[in-house]
């Protein structure tokens, strides 16, 4: 079966890249699908990926970001084998379309706006959604409700990533879609080994990983105090944080996984910072970024992780055995959703 994934696959965000490539690899490896990515992306989104983080006066910083973008460009082409994005949608002979994961339904995003393509408009082939998200959008700020309702009705199966999106779908078409896990939990692609001598040399001592750029002054003070108390350096990746001891920006997703897996602790404001910290059983704390709260709240509440916010930072370690059965059941539900959705006509 020829399958296309519709998502924001051509990104410079580690989480977006990893969710996309992991879903593709899972479908190929465990469901024998002939999988590709639909390479349509909106112009504003492509532009944002190209120029993000370049609006600074620090030439040294800009050169590091350019180096990072070039490294990711090579990774996308040579390792992940992505096709380059296109501003136009070219129809192909595809049997099944899978929409998601990521914020493909965030019609308030400044980089996509309301793009009916990501709701399946004009696509009469079989289509399902896996872990699609509304992001920080809500019913209060849409002018496209009727069009969205008509699009959602034509999906064979729908699953979402958070309860905000679940409530939205239920309001639109009166079904209660399953909330499934992010694709990063489905498997680990063979080429994401998490081993890299280059990064290992830069992080040879015990360290605390920083991933994200939304940290209040109070958060920063607590993190710095925590690092001094534990006598470990702060390493920031993906984003430049001047209060970190070291910033490692020129990383590809393999390097990023290495930094997560080998860290002693993680502080993050990013959705996938939480997902990957949980996957690799790290002790992590979350900076509560209002933009990402809709995406994170269900995961945090369902797995009893409310004590992982930085404002309650303490000595509490995560007991990964405590909710192990709950998590494994959720993972089974997520995989079973795909199995059933792929087999149903």
* pLDDT tens profile 3-16: 999 999 999 999 99
Indicate whether 61 pLDDT > 90. Answer: no
Residue-level pLDDT at 54: 65
Residue-level pLDDT at 25: 96
Query: Measured over all CA atoms, what is the biggest interatomic distance in the chain, rounded to whole angstroms?
Result: 59
3-state secondary structure of 113: coil
Cis amide bond preceding 101, omega within 30 = yes
Q: How far apart are CA 167 and CA 123, in angstroms?
A: 24
- Model confidence pLDDT, tens digit, residues 154-172: 999 999 999 999 999 999 9
Residue 116: closest CA among 80, 78, 142, 77: 142
What are the angstrom distances between the C-alpha of 249 and each of 210, 256, 264, 299?
12, 10, 19, 28
Q: How far apart are CA 309 and CA 285, in angstroms?
A: 5
- Model confidence pLDDT, tens digit, residues 274-325: 999 999 999 999 998 888 888 899 999 999 999 999 988 877 789 999 999 9
Q: How far apart are CA 321 and CA 329, in angstroms?
A: 13
Q: Which residues contact 119 (CB under 8 A, 6 or more apart)?
A: 99, 105, 147, 148, 151, 152
Indicate whether 250 pLDDT > 80. Answer: yes
Indicate whether 241 pLDDT > 70. Answer: yes
The values of phi and psi at residue 97, to 5°, are: -115, 135
The values of phi and psi at residue 131, to 5°, are: 55, 35
Q: How far apart are CA 281 and CA 25, in angstroms?
A: 22
> Who has greater pLDDT, 102 or 91?
102
Q: CB of 20 within 8 A of CB of 7?
A: yes
Residue 261: closest CA among 284, 277, 244: 277
Cβ burial, residue 133 (10 Å; 0-12/13-18/19+) = buried
Residue 29: closest CA among 258, 255, 194, 183: 183
Q: Which residues contact 25 (CB under 8 A, 6 or more apart)?
A: 187, 189, 190
Structure tokens at 258: 């290495």
The values of phi and psi at residue 5, to 5°, are: -100, 130
Indicate whether 249 pLDDT > 90. Answer: no
- pTM (two decimals): 0.93
Residue-level pLDDT at 115: 93
Determine which of 24-38, 65-79, 134-148 has the lowest per-residue pLDDT on average.
Answer: 134-148
Residue whose pair of structure tokens reads 């590809």 in the numeric block: 252
Residue-level pLDDT at 50: 76
Q: How far apart are CA 5 and CA 26, in angstroms?
A: 12
Q: How far apart are CA 167 and CA 139, in angstroms?
A: 10
């Amino acid at each position: 079966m020829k399958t296309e994934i519709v998502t924001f696959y051509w990104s410079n965000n580690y989480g977006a890249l990893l969710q996309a490539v992991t879903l593709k690899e899972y479908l190929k490896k465990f469901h024998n699908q002939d999988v590709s990515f639909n390479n349509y992306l909106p112009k504003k989104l492509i532009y944002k990926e190209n120029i993000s983080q370049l609006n600074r006066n620090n030439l040294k910083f800009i050169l590091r970001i350019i180096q990072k973008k070039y490294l990711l460009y090579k990774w996308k082409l040579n390792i992940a084998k992505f096709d380059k994005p296109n501003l136009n949608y070219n129809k192909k002979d595809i049997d099944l379309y899978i929409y998601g994961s990521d914020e493909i339904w965030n019609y308030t995003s400044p980089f996509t706006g309301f793009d009916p393509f990501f709701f399946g408009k004009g696509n009469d082939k079989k289509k399902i959604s896996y872990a699609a998200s509304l992001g920080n959008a809500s019913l209060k700020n849409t002018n496209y409700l009727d069009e969205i309702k008509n699009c959602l009705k034509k999906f064979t199966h729908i699953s979402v990533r958070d309860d905000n999106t679940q409530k939205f779908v239920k309001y639109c078409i009166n079904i209660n879609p399953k909330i499934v896990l992010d694709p990063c939990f489905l498997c680990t692609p063979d080429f994401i080994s998490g081993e890299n001598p280059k990064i290992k040399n830069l992080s040879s001592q015990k360290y605390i990983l920083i991933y994200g750029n939304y940290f209040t002054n109070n958060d920063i003070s607590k993190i710095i105090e925590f690092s001094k108390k534990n006598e470990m350096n702060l390493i920031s990746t993906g984003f430049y944080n001047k209060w970190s001891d070291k910033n490692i920006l020129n990383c590809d997703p393999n390097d990023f996984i290495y930094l997560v897996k080998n860290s002693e602790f993680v502080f993050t404001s990013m959705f996938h910072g939480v997902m990957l910290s949980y996957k690799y059983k790290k002790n992590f704390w979350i900076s509560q970024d209002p933009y990402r709260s809709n995406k994170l709240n269900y995961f945090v509440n369902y797995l009893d992780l409310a004590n992982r916010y930085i404002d309650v930072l303490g000595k509490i370690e995560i007991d990964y055995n405590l909710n192990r059965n709950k998590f494994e059941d959720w993972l089974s539900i997520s995989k079973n959703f795909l199995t059933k959705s792929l087999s149903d006509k």
